[in-house]
Amino acid sequence: MPPQTRYVRSGELHIAYQTFGDGPLDLVLVDQWFSNVDAAWDFAPLSGLMTQLASFSRLIMFDKPGTGLSDPVALDALPTIEGWADDLRAVLDAVGSERTALMSGPGSSYVTLVFAATHPARTSALVLVDPYARFARSPDYPIGAPVDRLPEDLERLRASWGVGGGTMTFLAPSLLVDRSLAEQYLRYERQSASPGAARAMLGVLYDSDVRHVLPTIRVPTLVMSHSEGARIGPAHGRYIADRVPGARFVELPGSENYLWAGDTRLLTAEVEEFLTGVRPIAEPDRVLATVLFTDIVGSTARAAELGDAEWRRILSEHDREVRAVLERFRGHEVKTTGDGFLATFDGPARAVRCAFAIRDTLESHGTTVRAGLHTGEIELTHNDVAGIAVHIAARICALAGPGEVLASGTVKDLVAGSGLVFEPRGVHTLKGVPGEWSLFGATG
């Protein structure tokens, strides 16, 4: 369950905040200039990152004024960097954190840099991901973004905020091809701030410059930049690391300027080693698991019949219901497949029963799905899974009829004595998979 949201006064404003985990050190995560501490837990990539960080810390998150669950403010009165730092200090006072590590992503590095410089006694360490101390280009900062592009960028962000691409348009355009992921993140944007606030804050980011504070920072500092950053290249991070005394610079693979995108295990391993001195033991690359694929039957025809708006509503309801069932049966969501899910389980019987529950729940909402299951060794690759077992489960799902839960003989044999009943569905060849496979319909 998500942690409880609480409030603290900062001046005349109420600031929403949460703490999560009980590790030996305090760590503030300031992902972006916008946030929603409740809605963040509904976006799996971000909640996964927060859970990883909380495995070795007490994680502290808060919403800036004018964003998320904190008090709204007028667009011409958005918080200054100084005010933002005051809000951070109020949250730290409220949770009783005397010395805190600060971690920020693009769009929030200004405040963590300033706070670390002005409050060194309260800052145990500083972690910056895709940071910049100045964003706009100038004669003495040629790596910045062209100033003459600002009006176009402001309008582009305002028009696309939460509906057409939002910050993904700038920070991770490659992720827009994953419609389900993009829609989830755009929903989070809508819940975090308004288009007007986005436009106003982008203007603030262009106008701000904190380069002068870099040489005054005297806390351990880790700077990480993605090697092919879509919007914020590693030159910004190197600039900071070269000017903060003793700072360490690490280049991460990838082009997405989001903390939660790409291989978060690599990012959090660097952070944990930097903050604790101990690098976490890598998770095993290959494990035995039961793989479940689900798929909405006739999705293309149904989408054409209903229209885009209604079909998006149905997909949103579908995703919400499937996630609730997966949580109940301790399934691990790997990813959505547009109109279906890929999930893994450490027990085949629970996987079969979860497939039943997904089918029955969605049927009660007028949506028919099919499911395919296979148990085998899978390869863990970043935030995905791979291997022949995944391909087999996908092929089995494609052969399932409407409302059917179809399983391999391996699954049937492993759940003997569980009370589950299977009916033979013949021997099949699976595209791209060697040999012949006996398949079985699970009926109860």
Give the pLDDT band (50/70/90) at residue 417: confident
In a domain, 281, yes or no: no
Given this model, what pLDDT does residue 79 score?
80
In a domain, 1, yes or no: no
- Dist CA 108 CA 192 (whole Å): 15
Give the pLDDT band (50/70/90) at residue 103: very high
Confidence check: pLDDT of 262 > 80: no
**CA dist 94 → 17, 38, 102 (Å):** 9, 18, 16
Kindly state the helix (H) or strand (E) to which residue 234 belongs, with its residue range: helix 234-243
Tokens, residue 96:
């009783």
- Dist CA 304 CA 300 (whole Å): 6
Given this model, what pLDDT does residue 278 score?
85
Mean pLDDT throughout 205-212? 94
Helix (H, G, I), strand (E, B) or coil at 268: helix
CB 400 within 8 Å of CB 370: yes
User: In terms of domains, do 313 and 225 share one?
Assistant: no
User: In terms of domains, do 119 and 254 share one?
Assistant: yes
Confidence check: pLDDT of 51 > 70: yes
Give the pLDDT band (50/70/90) at residue 432: confident
- Dist CA 146 CA 55 (whole Å): 40
DSSP assignment of 395-407, as one string? Answer: HHHHHPPTT-EEE
User: In terms of domains, do 264 and 306 share one?
Assistant: no
Confidence check: pLDDT of 33 > 70: yes
Mean pLDDT throughout 222-229? 95
Helix (H, G, I), strand (E, B) or coil at 162: coil
- Dist CA 243 CA 330 (whole Å): 47
The residue out of 234, 249, 276 marking a domain boundary is 276
Give the angle subtended at the CA of 217 by the CAs of 212 and 221, to the nearest 5°: 120
- Dist CA 295 CA 9 (whole Å): 47
Mean pLDDT throughout 218-235? 95
- Dist CA 17 CA 15 (whole Å): 6
Tokens, residue 42:
């509904």
Confidence check: pLDDT of 284 > 70: no
Give the pLDDT band (50/70/90) at residue 23: very high
User: In terms of domains, do 48 and 188 share one?
Assistant: yes
Q: How many domains does the chain have?
A: 2
Confidence check: pLDDT of 444 > 80: no
**pLDDT digits 0-9 by tens, 311-354:** 889 999 999 999 999 999 999 999 998 889 999 999 999 999 99
User: In terms of domains, do 105 and 237 share one?
Assistant: yes
**pLDDT digits 0-9 by tens, 73-83:** 998 888 889 99
Domain range enclosing 134: 6-276
CB 119 within 8 Å of CB 45: no
Q: Which residues pair with 8 in a beta bridge?
A: 15
**In which residue are the tokens 């004669």 written?**
139
CB 436 within 8 Å of CB 427: yes
Least confident of 51-65, 83-97, 292-306: 292-306
Mean pLDDT throughout 25-47? 95
User: In terms of domains, do 108 and 76 share one?
Assistant: yes
In a domain, 160, yes or no: yes
User: In terms of domains, do 201 and 305 share one?
Assistant: no
Among 293, 292, 290, 287, residue whose Cα is nearest residue 377: 287
User: In terms of domains, do 237 and 386 share one?
Assistant: no
Question: Which runs of E-coded beta strand occur in 277-421?
Answer: 286-296, 332-336, 340-345, 369-381, 384-386, 405-408
CB 225 within 8 Å of CB 236: yes
User: In terms of domains, do 255 and 295 share one?
Assistant: no
User: In terms of domains, do 374 and 252 share one?
Assistant: no
User: In terms of domains, do 134 and 234 share one?
Assistant: yes
In a domain, 220, yes or no: yes
Determine the angle formed by the axes of helices 308-328 and 348-363, rounding to 10 degrees: 140
- Dist CA 94 CA 437 (whole Å): 60
Largest CA distance in the chain: 74
Confidence check: pLDDT of 382 > 70: no
Given this model, what pLDDT does residue 335 score?
92
Q: CB atoms < 10 A from the CB of 425, how many?
A: 17
In a domain, 408, yes or no: yes
Helix (DSSP H) and strand (DSSP E) numbers for the chain: 14, 16
In a domain, 77, yes or no: yes
Kindly state the helix (H) or strand (E) to which residue 325 belongs, with its residue range: helix 308-328
Given this model, what pLDDT does residue 3 score?
94
Mean pLDDT throughout 269-281? 90
User: In terms of domains, do 290 and 259 share one?
Assistant: no
Mean pLDDT throughout 169-182? 87
Mean pLDDT throughout 376-399? 89
Give the pLDDT band (50/70/90) at residue 175: confident
Mean pLDDT throughout 153-171? 91
Residue 323 is part of a domain; what is its CATH number?
Answer: 3.30.70.1230
Helix (H, G, I), strand (E, B) or coil at 26: strand
DSSP assignment of 90-124, as one string? Answer: HHHHHHT-SSEEEEE-TTSHHHHHHHHHH-GGGEE
The residue out of 276, 303, 321 marking a domain boundary is 276
**Mean per-residue pLDDT over the chain, rounded:** 93
Task: Give the residue, 141 or 435, on which the prediction is more confident.
Answer: 141
In a domain, 159, yes or no: yes
The residue out of 276, 299, 319 marking a domain boundary is 276
Residue 31 is part of a domain; what is its CATH number?
Answer: 3.40.50.1820
